[in-house]
């Protein structure tokens, strides 16, 4: 490590360098602030401290200090000058100098003592910065671990619901991926699309609460059975709702505004809304609220299209998968009645990418 000495007096530079070299320091020399700044910039990895005069030609010490603290804020700067003393010392310290020694320097032990002080201060600053960086790293790692665990729990919950009528669980993955794709096509931000990818798979989590005799019935459902089946929307919202009590969860899920305004995790709010609203229809004939048009949140309108499309093309215990063309025909025919026409338009504009997702995650 080296100490940079900047002074326009060659004899003083040499005597200071000789003294510091006797103490096993390496030294670098410069005759003015401009040369000193160039030397510092070229040797940032080796310069441990700077001793600088104030009154010099080309670039004075004040200007050097101003540039140096921008280039290397953690390198100690000690001013060695006899100009004006108090006023100049204060000005230099305000510029960023660490300490001040007055000329003439009759006792070099003063320089040794001053360097020891600034080295100790630099060590403490460095250790504190390293501690803060390490602490921030640990916090980021812990946050990532918690975020990963939370996402895994959400994914496994969606898979648990899907296993009731689709053992592979790939339907929920496809719904998430295609929903994110359509969200991007509909102008959602990248962070919103990522949230949609994570939350859309939970849209049918309420199936957990539907009896198998109804959920897996091979024939047509009776009206009373349909009434039970439709409850999976509110069941899903309540499963993802507040943990304070079942009554509180039911209260929140009884009104869409409550769902959208409910506190807690942003992802859970979105997942609740999707579970509750993915069977709402553009024409207002859906459930559970009978919302119409743009009163239905956009993300729910997206999932409505994706869920129906993928379910039509998937085998279930109570039905065989429809051919691809039949699936597309049903989506197209539902534009303006069951589905938001803009979402359907985006769907067909991205049909090749959607087909690639279905192929990648096929059952």
Is 252's pLDDT higher than 70? yes
Could you report the per-residue pLDDT of 53-95, keeping only the tens digit for each? 998 999 999 999 999 999 999 999 999 987 667 788 888 989 8
Q: How confident is the model at residue 260 (pLDDT cuts 50, 70, 90)?
A: confident
For residue 258 the two structure tokens come to 């409550």
Sheet containing strand 26-30, edge to edge, reads 26-30, 2-6, 47-52, 77-81, 99-102
Could you report the per-residue pLDDT of 226-249, keeping only the tens digit for each? 999 999 999 999 988 888 888 888
pLDDT (0 to 100) of residue 168: 47
Any catalytic annotation for residue 103? no
CA 56 to chain centre: 50
Enclosing H/E stretch for 94: helix 86-95
Q: How many whole angstroms separate alpha carbon 87 and alpha carbon 59?
A: 19
Q: How confident is the model at residue 159 (pLDDT cuts 50, 70, 90)?
A: low
Q: How many whole angstroms separate alpha carbon 19 and alpha carbon 153?
A: 66
pTM: 0.63
Could you report the per-residue pLDDT of 168-225, keeping only the tens digit for each? 468 888 999 999 999 999 999 999 999 999 899 899 899 888 998 998 888 888 999 9
Domains of the chain: 2-130 (3.40.50.2300), 163-360 (1.10.3210.10)
Give Cβ neighbours of residue 140 (< 8 Å, ≥ 6 apart): none
- Percent of the chain's residues with pLDDT above 70: 93
Is 314's pLDDT higher than 90? no
Per annotation, catalytic residue among 103, 117, 164, 207: 207
Q: How many whole angstroms separate alpha carbon 217 and alpha carbon 57?
A: 94
């Amino acid at each position: 490590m080296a100490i940079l000495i900047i002074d326009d007096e060659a004899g003083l530079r040499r005597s200071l360098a000789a003294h510091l070299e006797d103490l096993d320091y390496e030294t670098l020399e410069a005759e003015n602030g401009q040369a000193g700044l160039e030397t510092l910039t070229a040797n940032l990895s080796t310069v441990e401290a700077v001793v600088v005069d104030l009154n010099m030609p080309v670039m004075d010490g004040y200007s050097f200090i101003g540039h140096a603290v921008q280039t290397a804020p953690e390198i100690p700067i000690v001013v060695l000058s006899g100009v004006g003393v108090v006023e100049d010392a204060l000005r230099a310290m305000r510029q960023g100098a660490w300490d001040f020694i007055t000329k003439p320097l009759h006792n070099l032990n003063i320089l040794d003592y001053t360097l020891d002080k600034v080295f100790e201060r630099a060590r403490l600053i460095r250790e504190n910065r390293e501690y803060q960086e390490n602490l921030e790293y640990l916090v980021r790692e812990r946050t990532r671990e918690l975020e990963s665990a939370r996402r895994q729990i959400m994914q496994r919950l969606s898979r648990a619901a899907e296993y009731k009528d689709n053992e592979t669980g790939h339907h929920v993955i496809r719904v998430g991926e295609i929903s994110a794709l359509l969200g991007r096509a509909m102008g959602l931000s990248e962070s919103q699309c990522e949230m949609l990818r994570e939350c859309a798979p939970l849209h049918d989590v309420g199936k957990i609460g539907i009896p198998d005799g109804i959920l897996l019935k091979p024939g047509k459902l009776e009206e009373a059975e349909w009434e039970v089946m439709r409850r999976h929307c509110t069941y899903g919202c309540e499963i993802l709702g507040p943990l304070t009590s079942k009554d509180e969860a039911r209260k929140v899920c009884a009104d869409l505004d409550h769902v959208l305004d409910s506190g807690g995790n942003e992802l859970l709010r979105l997942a609740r809304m999707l579970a509750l609203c993915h069977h709402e229809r553009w024409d207002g004939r859906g459930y559970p609220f009978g919302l119409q048009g743009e009163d239905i949140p956009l993300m729910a309108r997206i999932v409505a299209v994706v869920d129906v499309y993928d379910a039509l093309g998937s085998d279930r215990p109570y039905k065989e998968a429809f051919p691809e063309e039949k699936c597309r025909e049903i989506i197209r025919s539902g534009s303006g009645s069951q589905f938001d026409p803009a979402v359907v338009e985006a769907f067909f504009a991205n049909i090749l990418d959607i087909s690639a997702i279905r192929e990648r995650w096929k059952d």
